[in-house]
Homo-oligomer: A and B are copies of this chain.
């Protein structure tokens, strides 16, 4: 049975890394003695080692051990051997490029589809969608494809931001960007605000946290859904 937590962000304002998610992690990973951290997205360009140390520090607070994928000779084998996964945020282009380089998409997808628990934050949540075409990140490297894990039947936009009515800036709003996405793509997009996450249990996908999420479907007006809404049947 699929078992995923897909969070918009790792960190809330004035909180420690993963702080708001810690109460969940202990039960999410309760049967896991071998959790694998995927640090490839390297936020701010930090090293795999530093990023893994940050994740380890947070997981320790939940009584959990976690090991970085870069510590293994074969990343492919590391995914096969692990019994749980955490993919951290950072740059989605870099994350996806590295997943393709090490040929990890199929093996990771299979493991998670067979019930190994998965936690994603930000870029790690993005790749659970059908494609990475709704990331907010800068295309600093060229991945061989924008197709990602497809663990949920839609795309996700993490760190979703409402338009600022007072802004004088002419860059596109998030809503405009997703509207442009739907001129060329049909999958629904979930705009997931910071503090929200999706809980995937088997076939059920539920919005969690205290905030509404914004749903974009092709050729429809976007709309808001409340926490606890089941999102299995978006079009």
Which A positions have Cβ atoms within 8 angstroms of B? 9-14, 42-45, 90-91, 93-94, 132-142, 145-146, 159, 161, 168-172, 176-185, 194
Contact = CB atoms under 8 A, between A and B. Distances in A.
A140 B184 contact: yes
B180 A170 contact: no
B141 A184 contact: yes
A181 B140 contact: yes
3 tightest Cβ-Cβ pairs between the two chains A and B: A13-B168, A45-B183, A159-B171
Nearest to A8: B170
Contacts of A161: 169, 171
Contacts of A134: 138, 140
Total identical chains = 2
Contacts of A93: 139
B44 A180 contact: yes
A49 to B, nearest CB: 14
Contacts of A171: 136, 159, 161
B178 A138 contact: yes
A158 B146 CA distance: 24
A93 to B, nearest CB: 8
Most buried by B among A42, A44, A159: A44
Contacts of A94: 180, 184
Contacts of A91: 177, 180
Q: By CB atoms of chain B within 10 A, which of A134, A138, A159, A184 has the most?
A: A138
